[in-house]
Structure 1
């Protein structure tokens, strides 16, 4: 007899192949286009097409799933993904490639939405923390595995074929599952300007995390290729960042629980900016050894990969404990997606204008801007903070339903007026505490 755990394991196998296939495709895209002689701006636009598809998925995928069901929809999206990946083999026309990448992004995020719906509905409240933690582990392992495939120096044809094979492999566990199809969560809407009024640092942090994280994934390979790195070295660079990103999650979470999300976001932004600035400085000094880039990747892993989860935690801190945060979390994921869509375009333009120093200059500027913004925000008192939960930013919109912070206490739907009043109350408390802290630090004054 198949147990509940076994059924979830099948879904995790599906997610593993999805992340690995997409990770290979996303990180290899820049290499392939750069080797074709495409300029950085055009590469950025083509990479942004993935996230245009993601935005379209949030609008239209619900209708497909509601019409034909989860399992059939999963098979359809998987098949179309494979067709779009293999379609790259038929032509070198960049306009066609752009359209195919919109399709890839649409299908990938639709597939994630379907799998996450099963996780969210079939996991009990007590098990959601474990399910989400395992989801994080699968994300980092599978995405790293996809990147590791680059080290085998696959040809363009092989990359497209392997990516298609992996996504088709993801279809098998879902097609064979005995889990009943879940109900799709209703689409929730929240005004981003109003969310900015409630939790400005959370919104700006999630948007900047998208700018930095997906700028890194989509354009790092292009930058390194133009610095004379081979594909194997590029793969190691990306893997270094992924491994450090995974290793940093728990320590950063504990530090943010103790010192606050504002301090943690500020510190991670400064680490990222310092790493990028060090990279520029060493390049200006004529030090171009591989270890320089690996050291920057090490610091990026610590700084960049924690920003989205910290932003979600900051938003949770600024809402009443008994209030559902699902709507806010989905809005933050949407903000992250908008940053992800703009990232490769902006970074491509900067790299074309500033040549070899533009890549790291982009990270210096945006990480520093986030640090300045975080510095200007008020800290949330320790007794008002929610628990920190590691949230994978590369997930679909249903991942917010797995957040265990929504399973404690008496929940009530998100209420904008009440949330605004609570955020204002926290700000007043922080302002009142500030003079007392200064007097404690300077008793002679």
Structure 2
């Protein structure tokens, strides 16, 4: 694995620094708004703005990259992200911060498109899995360690300054890279109607996973602060959830390779619901909160790649990259709606409303999954594709899947189809 990731170590370093600097902002901003007296609905709206920007960026950033080139686009996106991060320190206003979060989402989507394109350019069929694993490690470890920057929150502007510094430093390894910018490829289109017809559970599961994790990232910090946790304990809780998400993805994936994948998905949604209901009964920092937080991360983070794998089991190989890209966007749409739904639940039911909302979403998907199991036959075990851990970033990440078909190089005499998916239907 090490020999496979050494050629892309500069890109992985950039991903790590970027996530260390930006990955904790959702936690920090929610806490600042809470301390400033903003209502739960307003905090949820600001979180929604970020995921809305991420969704729009996933759709619109690629033409910018193709027009000006990967290095220039990356530098522009990171510079704007660094500037918006500093702008939070100017003054605190909900509408102003919501606008900044939308810009953050746009920039993060553009950055991921650039980095994931480069990684895909360097990935050969026999190294694709190792590069993807290195990417996931850099992504999640940066996000988990970045949570501890909350401990510098005693001076209001310091966390934003540190975040901006780390984000700015992420430019250096990329602008100095000698890796050639990738050429656009061609992929078979996949409409949303076709995607649902091929895999209803994969379609619904991807969106509801977005609902759950969007709600969590937007309001979990508010939830635990209202339980009485201080900044250091809040950072520890968020990090445990993220690291738990990494720990359980592989064993759940291996189980789904051996048994009916729908059964593993349904059980995971059911277990997520049970863990969330248990979390509503925890009233302070301690081993129960950390244990349940790690279990929640492990179960919920695994749901998206499980849904992608289940969808791929039911698709022709040529359609898998476009379908995976569509599933990323479904996840992003769900994530944009999740904070608002959770904020409404917290307004109605108090501090336990966050995990009641997530439990309700998981329970609804559990019922849907049981119906799908009863109404259709499973994919034969020999026809199931191997499970692969995938990030929930942009459609470009789908091309890093080791089981994805090779892209078709564009014909120089014909314009390339630059879209990864079709959202009609």
| TM score, norm. by length of structure 1 | 0.86
SS in 1 for 2:23: helix
Per-residue deviation, 1:71: 0.8
Residue 61 of structure 2: aligned partner: 61
**1:256-306 deviation line (CA, Å, top 9, x unaligned):** 1111221111111111111111223x35xxx64533322320220221110
Alpha-carbon separation, structure 1, partners of 2:186 and 2:50: 24
CA RMSD, Structure 1 to Structure 2 (Å): 2.4
1:195 and 1:203 in contact (8 A); partners too: yes
Find the partner of 1:351 among 339, 346, 349.
Answer: 346
Residue 340 of structure 1: aligned partner: 335
The answer to which of 52-61 and 201-210 deviates more is: 52-61
1:121 and 1:182 in contact (8 A); partners too: yes
2:71 and 2:175 in contact (8 A); partners too: yes
How many residue pairs are counted as aligned between the two chains?
A: 406
Find the partner of 1:303 among 283, 294, 299.
Answer: 299
Per-residue deviation, 1:326: 0.3
Indicate whether 1:316 and 2:312 are aligned: yes
Residue 43 of structure 1: aligned partner: 43
Indicate whether 1:372 and 2:367 are aligned: yes
Alignment of 1:71-82 (within 5 A): 71-82=71-82
Change (3 A) 1:206 1:270: same
Per-residue deviation, 1:26: 1.9
Residue 277 of structure 2: aligned partner: 277
Alignment of 1:41-120 (within 5 A): 41-120=41-120
Residue 404 of structure 2: aligned partner: 406
Per-residue deviation, 1:224: 1.0
Alignment of 1:7-18 (within 5 A): 7-18=7-18
Per-residue deviation, 1:185: 4.6
| TM score, norm. by length of structure 2 | 0.90
**1:208-260 deviation line (CA, Å, top 9, x unaligned):** 11111121122100111112111111111112212221110111111111112
Residue 321 of structure 2: aligned partner: 326
Residue 174 of structure 1: aligned partner: 174
2:241 and 2:294 in contact (8 A); partners too: yes
Alpha-carbon separation, structure 1, partners of 2:118 and 2:351: 45
Unaligned runs of 5+ in 1: 417-445
Residue 419 of structure 1: aligned partner: none
Alpha-carbon separation, structure 2, partners of 1:297 and 1:174: 35
Residue 158 of structure 1: aligned partner: 158
Alpha-carbon separation, structure 1, partners of 2:226 and 2:367: 32
Per-residue deviation, 1:323: 3.3
Alpha-carbon separation, structure 2, partners of 1:190 and 1:328: 6
Change (3 A) 1:5 1:383: closer
Residue 239 of structure 2: aligned partner: 239
Per-residue deviation, 1:183: 2.0
2:188 and 2:319 in contact (8 A); partners too: no
Residue 226 of structure 2: aligned partner: 226
Larger helix percent? 1
The answer to which of 20-29 and 144-153 deviates more is: 144-153
Unaligned runs of 5+ in 2: 409-416
SS in 1 for 2:88: helix
Indicate whether 1:383 and 2:379 are aligned: no
Per-residue deviation, 1:29: 1.7
Residue 392 of structure 1: aligned partner: 391
1:271 and 1:302 in contact (8 A); partners too: no
Alpha-carbon separation, structure 2, partners of 1:185 and 1:154: 49
Alpha-carbon separation, structure 2, partners of 1:188 and 1:173: 33
Residue 413 of structure 2: aligned partner: none
Per-residue deviation, 1:204: 0.7
1:152 and 1:232 in contact (8 A); partners too: no
Change (3 A) 1:140 1:59: closer
Alpha-carbon separation, structure 1, partners of 2:293 and 2:89: 32
